[in-house]
Chains A and B, each alone.
Chain A
């Protein structure tokens, strides 16, 4: 093995607008190793993986494979030199058979659909080698999720793949399927391939990886052989040092606010997302919910808003949570899916809360003049960079889009404010601004639930900190508990 063998990432930087997704990253992936890239959502894992496989073009830096630069930004060319990606979201045609899907990945052109069995053969041979029973005539739509992932992997193995990049492959699998996947990953490794495993679950990394690289907020934090590190170390690398000696700022003597008792919530797929949690947030208090994404944050937030079914009690000062008698403000996790109507104007997006505002309407009618003035006022007060509120919200930068969501939530004093990662993707100035506004709302008597994966934000804002781990609440985390490491 020469010194150059392997996949070398040198000084790679990628920016999206003002956001630095990857900041001068170095990493080396060796043949015959399972190399886990670990980090939270937004750490830059996906961007790095996209660069390795040619889906994303870096702004600067180089990627070389066995000494030669890879064709950056050209996914199809990368496939040709043996770099394959196994997508988290399956790229299979559900109406086709297994063999047809496998052949599809090997088509020289669209005009030669014939000889499906020939083209599927290498993939099916790989299946045999890996000990998987695959029926080439089965329809994709009839297969289970675990089986689909096998097909996805077999697609990649139909050519001479030397580098396999797995994007969070365990996210959809059952424990048994995970064990089988790990067995296969080891076998593929032992065949001399480079295995890159994108992950955010510590326990899985501990179970299968040989080497690990940790990213945080787009920066390289550490690389190490797994044997030379441990779970706590990794967790600390992932989320940063926990601030020590934090004291509760709030006297906790505010008016009664929201009370949750014995709350259990199911996720979109019917899984138990939140399990029997109880807590209280008084008026004039920010309670921070820390923890890594996917531990029940969105489900708990939506249950508190009473827009998701739940068991257990939620009351606000003794009454149910409803927009009829409370001013509720919500800053959702993902502005593009839950926050903004991208096909409408800035003004229309501000009206999401404003159309309840009695001063802006007369009965069922909206008073255009007042709406315009009100929207202009918000755009100015919150420093939304737009030529006019009539502009489409989609023409704004990400930071300014977030300001639209924040401004409509905080334009008047809320009773209850539910916030999920409000500053993700924002620059420092915008972040400070959002924090300021939240403290203003707190001081004005709002009960605030802040869900954030950003520890700095958590400790900067929260009067009390709780941690969500696998749908349960913990008083104090420690880095390992924080990322849900213990099984």
Chain B
């Protein structure tokens, strides 16, 4: 994407923010200042923005991989929950002896859980023709119910009084850089995954096949590329990334599982991926924008009547505007390519 487009988008995103504030009847500039302060005011604010952006980066990446492969995965939320539950299961298993070296193992479990849950939807499509959009939406509800069952059953805390899991022991929680800051090592894992996914999609054979199958299944078929297997892979990778987001959230900010563990990070991966133009690199600024809005709006709510609803309005308007712009651009390009 050209620098000019990026600059234009940044201006557009701020404009959306300004307009929404105005429509909600808030004083625009003081509100902007409050949001800015909450998101970037000091190192604590920046840390909050980054922490909010972390799961969004991962679930956004997950959506990019699936959608690039033509699999319209709406099940990031379910894969996120299952990933966290896998992680919690391993944590419970190693609880008698919580050594920090188990950390990677727990995250791997989260990836495996999410990937498996994504594969389930992929398999339903490839083997049985069930549309991914439908199956993943429904599997989200299944995941929520599984979580409720788990925290009132096998994963419930030792005293069995509240529907929550045990707190993650200190030794296993994600490393923090500063006691008072929320920033944890998961943010850097997420950023590393941006590079990994980008390399995967554009510099590996498997990633290439995902992009090809997603764009034109017939071409793949005519050239002996097993489209079904490729699409299964894209769902596994997608689910794995969402599962990782769940694992990180569980080991980091949440610290335990409970009824309120799902915070819609999986759903929000979809607008992030759209805003990123299905480009892994674009996921970072898109997630930062959303993360900053969340962090900033907390501050805004402290001083004004604005609630979190407004933030969702801003996000929705931004995504719709961007999608509209993309279709317009596409139409112009198609028209330019002309009658042929």
Among A332, A361, A365, A394, the residue within 8 A (CB) of B333 is: A394
Partner-binding segment picked from A96-104, A170-178, A214-222, A336-344: A336-344
Contact with B along A458-487 (1 / 0, CB 8 A): 000000000000000000000000000000
B101 at interface by CB-CB < 8 Å: no
- Could you say which interface size class chain A belongs to? 20 to 34
Quick one: closest B residue to A334, CB to CB? B218
User: In the bound complex, what is the Cα–Cα distance between A37 and B270 (angstroms)?
Assistant: 51
Contact with B along A299-337 (1 / 0, CB 8 A): 000100101000000000000001100001010100001
User: In the bound complex, what is the Cα–Cα distance between A398 and B338 (angstroms)?
Assistant: 10
User: In the bound complex, what is the Cα–Cα distance between A302 and B224 (angstroms)?
Assistant: 11
Number of A-B contacts (CB under 8 A): 69
In chain B between 198 and 227, which residues have their CB closer than 8 angstroms to a CB of chain A?
Answer: 203-206, 208-209, 211-212, 215-216, 218-219, 221-224
Among A323, A343, A344, A366, the residue within 8 A (CB) of B203 is: A366
Residues of B within 8 A of A17 (CB): 338-340
Contact B212 A352 (CB under 8 A): yes
Contact B212 A344 (CB under 8 A): yes
User: In the bound complex, what is the Cα–Cα distance between A413 and B39 (angstroms)?
Assistant: 60
User: In the bound complex, what is the Cα–Cα distance between A361 and B206 (angstroms)?
Assistant: 12
Residues of A within 8 A of B222 (CB): 302, 305, 307, 330, 332, 338-339
Residues of B within 8 A of A16 (CB): 339-340
Among B211, B224, B338, B339, the residue within 8 A (CB) of A323 is: B224
Contact A364 B223 (CB under 8 A): no
Contact with B along A344-371 (1 / 0, CB 8 A): 1000100111010000010011101000
Given contacts A323-B224, A351-B212, 6 further A-B contacts (CB under 8 A): A307-B221, A307-B222, A340-B216, A342-B216, A351-B208, A397-B340
Residues of B within 8 A of A364 (CB): 204-206
A255 at interface by CB-CB < 8 Å: no
Name the distance in Å between B323's Cβ and chain A's nearest Cβ. 16
B337 at interface by CB-CB < 8 Å: yes
Contact B224 A365 (CB under 8 A): no
User: In the bound complex, what is the Cα–Cα distance between A330 and B208 (angstroms)?
Assistant: 20
Residues of B within 8 A of A187 (CB): none
Residues of B within 8 A of A11 (CB): none
A412 at interface by CB-CB < 8 Å: no
Quick one: closest B residue to A405, CB to CB? B219
- Could you say which interface size class chain B belongs to? 20 to 34
Quick one: closest B residue to A394, CB to CB? B337
Among A337, A338, A341, A366, the residue within 8 A (CB) of B204 is: A366
Q: Known contacts A17-B339, A366-B203, A368-B203: does B223 contact A352 (CB below 8 Å)?
A: yes
Contact B211 A338 (CB under 8 A): no
A395 at interface by CB-CB < 8 Å: yes
Residues of A within 8 A of B204 (CB): 364-366
Name the distance in Å between A342's Cβ and chain B's nearest Cβ. 7
Contact A398 B208 (CB under 8 A): no
**11 residue pairs A–B, Cβ–Cβ below 8 Å:** A305-B224, A307-B222, A339-B222, A341-B212, A344-B211, A344-B212, A344-B215, A352-B219, A364-B206, A366-B208, A395-B337
Among B203, B212, B224, B338, the residue within 8 A (CB) of A348 is: B212
Quick one: closest A residue to B340, CB to CB? A398
Residues of B within 8 A of A332 (CB): 222
In chain B between 44 and 66, which residues have their CB closer than 8 angstroms to a CB of chain A?
Answer: none
Contact B218 A337 (CB under 8 A): yes
Residues of A within 8 A of B221 (CB): 307
Q: Known contacts A344-B212, A348-B212: does B333 contact A339 (CB below 8 Å)?
A: no
Q: Which residues of A contact B (CB under 8 A)?
A: 16-17, 302, 305, 307, 322-323, 328, 330, 332, 337-344, 348, 351-353, 355, 361, 364-366, 368, 394-395, 397-398
Quick one: closest B residue to A330, CB to CB? B222
Name the distance in Å between B334's Cβ and chain A's nearest Cβ. 8
Quick one: closest B residue to A365, CB to CB? B204
Quick one: closest B residue to A351, CB to CB? B208
Name the distance in Å between B45's Cβ and chain A's nearest Cβ. 39
Contact B215 A341 (CB under 8 A): yes
Q: Known contacts A338-B222, A340-B219: does B338 contact A355 (CB below 8 Å)?
A: no
Name the distance in Å between A353's Cβ and chain B's nearest Cβ. 7
User: In the bound complex, what is the Cα–Cα distance between A22 and B209 (angstroms)?
Assistant: 40
Name the distance in Å between A400's Cβ and chain B's nearest Cβ. 10
Quick one: closest B residue to A418, CB to CB? B222
User: In the bound complex, what is the Cα–Cα distance between A17 and B337 (angstroms)?
Assistant: 10
Name the distance in Å between A449's Cβ and chain B's nearest Cβ. 14
Contact B219 A343 (CB under 8 A): no
Name the distance in Å between A288's Cβ and chain B's nearest Cβ. 21
Q: Known contacts A16-B340, A366-B204, A394-B333: does B218 contact A338 (CB below 8 Å)?
A: yes
Contact B219 A339 (CB under 8 A): yes
Name the distance in Å between A271's Cβ and chain B's nearest Cβ. 20
Residues of A within 8 A of B340 (CB): 16-17, 397-398
Count chain A CB atoms within 10 A of each CB in B203, B211, B223 and give the residue with the most.
Answer: B223
Q: Known contacts A16-B340, A17-B338: does B205 contact A342 (CB below 8 Å)?
A: no
Name the distance in Å between A486's Cβ and chain B's nearest Cβ. 32
User: In the bound complex, what is the Cα–Cα distance between A395 and B205 (angstroms)?
Assistant: 25
Top 9 nearest A-B pairs (CB, nearest first) are A341-B215, A341-B216, A343-B215, A323-B224, A398-B340, A338-B218, A338-B222, A16-B339, A364-B204
In chain B between 218 and 244, which residues have their CB closer than 8 angstroms to a CB of chain A?
Answer: 218-219, 221-224
User: In the bound complex, what is the Cα–Cα distance between A332 and B205 (angstroms)?
Assistant: 23
Residues of B within 8 A of A343 (CB): 215-216
